[in-house]
Amino acid sequence: MTTIAAVPFLYNFDVAATALVIIDMQRDFVEPGGFGETLGNDVSLLQAIVPACQAVLAAWREAGGLVVHTREAHTPNLSNCPPAKRNRGAPTLRIGDVGPMGRILVAGEPGNQIIPELAPAAGEIVLDKPGKGAFYATPLHEQLQANGITHLLFMGVTTEVCVQTSMREANDRGYDCLLLEDCTESYFPQFKAAAVEMMRAQGAIVGWTATSAQLLAALE
Ligand code: C5J
């Protein structure tokens, strides 16, 4: 059993029963020319967490833990992108439109790939999810159950959208979840701060938080 002095209290986990879940670290959100930028966001904020995510991913692989990568991705015919989602807001490019990195948030397009720094390795789970949450319309719960997973470590983007939604879905399914604070980011720093606070409030009502340095020390 490994222990981290997390917030709001100790987080105990067994690497063999824990998965590292990396949410949507895809070019569409992190690189210029993707969906994030079409919505008017500064993607450099998200790029800043890449080195910390790389360090955690390397250590987790070294420890032999299960890795799950997600991508927010829709089918080319957009049958799993409801009009309510596609028509929301006033982006310069909508989901399915052709941008500098191919069709926005469409599976298989260059912009939909995980950034090269965090590229999935053989044997890791790579999941396309049409919603914000990683459990909605995906086989993730069944895959985790098949691997005997009870605990989840979260990183990725954006904190208050896909990361928070996925962590809440996981919490409702009975997983003990920990968010690595310096391995998640938002285009809105104040939203990240609020999301981190609300998830660990009320005695870890959604889950725990800790830093990547704490995890790396625990895995040594
Ligand atoms: C967003 C996500 N922000 N991955 N997706 O639309 O958080």
Taking only the tens place, the pLDDT of each residue in 115-136 is: 999 999 999 999 999 999 999 9
Residue 146 CA to its chain's centroid (Å) = 21
Q: How far apart are CA 13 and CA 3, in angstroms?
A: 6
Q: How far apart are CA 15 and CA 25, in angstroms?
A: 22
Of 33-37, 60-64, 193-197, 215-219, the poorest mean pLDDT is in 33-37
Q: State the distance from the centre of ligand 1 to the C-alpha of 47, rounded, in angstroms.
A: 14
Q: CB–CB of 53/120 below 8 Å?
A: no
Q: CB–CB of 143/67 below 8 Å?
A: no
Q: State the distance from the centre of ligand 1 to the C-alpha of 35, rounded, in angstroms.
A: 9
For ligand 1, whether the C-beta of 161 sits within 6 Å is yes
Q: How far apart are CA 84 and CA 182, in angstroms?
A: 32
Say if the ipTM goes beyond 0.90.
yes
Q: How far apart are CA 20 and CA 177, in angstroms?
A: 10
- Residue 38: per-residue pLDDT: 84
Give the model confidence (pLDDT) of 138-167 as tens digits: 999 999 999 999 999 999 999 999 999 999
pLDDT exceeds cutoff 90 at 68? yes
State the average pLDDT over residues 215-219.
Answer: 98
- Residue 26: per-residue pLDDT: 98
- Residue 34: per-residue pLDDT: 86
For β-strands 176-185 and 125-129, DSSP reports them as unpaired
Q: CB–CB of 23/180 below 8 Å?
A: no
Question: What is the three-class DSSP state of 184?
Answer: strand
Q: CB–CB of 125/65 below 8 Å?
A: no
Q: State the distance from the centre of ligand 1 to the C-alpha of 71, rounded, in angstroms.
A: 10
Q: Which atom of ligand 1 is nearest to the CA of 72?
A: 4
Which residues make Cβ contacts (< 8 Å) with residue 201, sequence separation at least 6?
8
pLDDT exceeds cutoff 90 at 33? no
For ligand 1, whether the C-beta of 162 sits within 6 Å is yes
pLDDT exceeds cutoff 90 at 39? no
Q: State the catalytic residues.
A: 24, 129, 162
